[in-house]
Amino acid sequence: MITRIITSVWIFLLGSLACLAQDRYQISADLYYSEIQDSVYLITHHFPTYGSNSLFVLLSGKQGVLIDTPHETTGTRSLLKWIKFSFGDLQLTAINTGWHQDNLGGNEYLLSLKIPVYGPGLTASLITDHGNELKDLVLEQTSSLDDKRYYQSYKELNFLPPDHTFPIDEGLLLEKGGETFEVYFPGESHTIDNTVVYLHNNRVLFGGCMILSIRHQRPGFIDHANMIEWPVSVNKVIQKFPSSETVIPGHGPHGNARLLDHTVKILETYNADSSK
């Protein structure tokens, strides 16, 4: 278990190093952004080392949508400070694509600011039922690090569920500032509740933890995964959004639609090797 976590940290670290080659700008100690398309910002939070991706979309009418959050409160506070400094006061909406800390660790801070957070009912119940186990896991991962601020921040954090829930099988269509965000659940994958979000006008697919970056040759943390269904689910995403031009994985650099095929291949190879 520990070996697997350390391995995945290294894989994530390699993935994020590749990211440095792109036009990235630092927001705070652990937080970076790059504008991957007009008004579409890839946000990467390294906490502690591996980078996890969120997406911030600036919209007309002084609105903004945040898909997934930094891992915890300090990163999320820095992100919102940067948004306010760069774009002024916006009406913000957030979407969670899964129940892990790299999807919704910022909810406590977002909800304290009365920002509506959308997510499946299943994500909410996973956090309600297993949020403490998740917290124990991240505390275990960070307790041995020299820099105590990681452990300390998770210690103070409460994992809170999204406050605007919908049935996961129905998904969600959110129209904001000239863009349509479609939340889609293709079936179980890296977790039993991971969804993807498609931006119809921008043709951007936020794949989150379901999608692996080109730097990944193995799936990362899979303790909560359904390894059999995962590639089947990614194939459903390929069918559902054939016009995707930009694809954002949960960790590592973004790419084009080939990332989806790459993910299926990695998972099928992994499953074939595991059954030998």
Tell me the closest approach of the beta carbon of residue 104 to Zn ion, in angstroms: 11
Angle at 52 (CA atoms; ends 241, 18), nearest 5 degrees: 90
Give the residue with the Cβ less far from Zn ion, 64 or 208. Answer: 208
Contact between residue 175 and residue 169 where contact means Cβ atoms under 8 Å apart: no
The distance of closest approach from Cβ of residue 102 to Zn ion in the complex, given in angstroms and rounded to an integer, is: 4
* Alpha helices (H) along the chain: 2-19, 73-87, 101-104, 107-112, 121-142, 149-156, 229-240, 258-274
To Zn ion, the closest distance from the beta carbon of 203 in angstroms equals 23
Q: Which residue is nearest to Zn ion (CB)?
A: 209
Question: What's the alpha-carbon Rg for the chain, to the nearest Å?
Answer: 17
**Which residue, 45 or 77, is less far from Zn ion as judged by CB?**
45
Please state the closest distance from residue 98 (CB atom) to Zn ion, in A: 7
Token pair belonging to 259:
């990332």
Give the residue with the Cβ less far from Zn ion, 8 or 165.
8
Binding site for Zn ion (CB under 5 A): 102, 209, 250
| Nearest CB to Zn ion, comparing residues 58 and 213 | 213
Angle, to 10 degrees, between the axis of helix 149-156 and the axis of helix 121-142?
A: 150
Q: Calculate the alpha carbon distances from 108 to 41, 69, 170 in Å.
A: 22, 10, 26
| Amino acid making up residue 206 | F
Q: Residue 59 CB, nearest distance to Zn ion (Å)?
A: 25
Of 209 and 266, the one with the shorter C-beta distance to Zn ion is 209
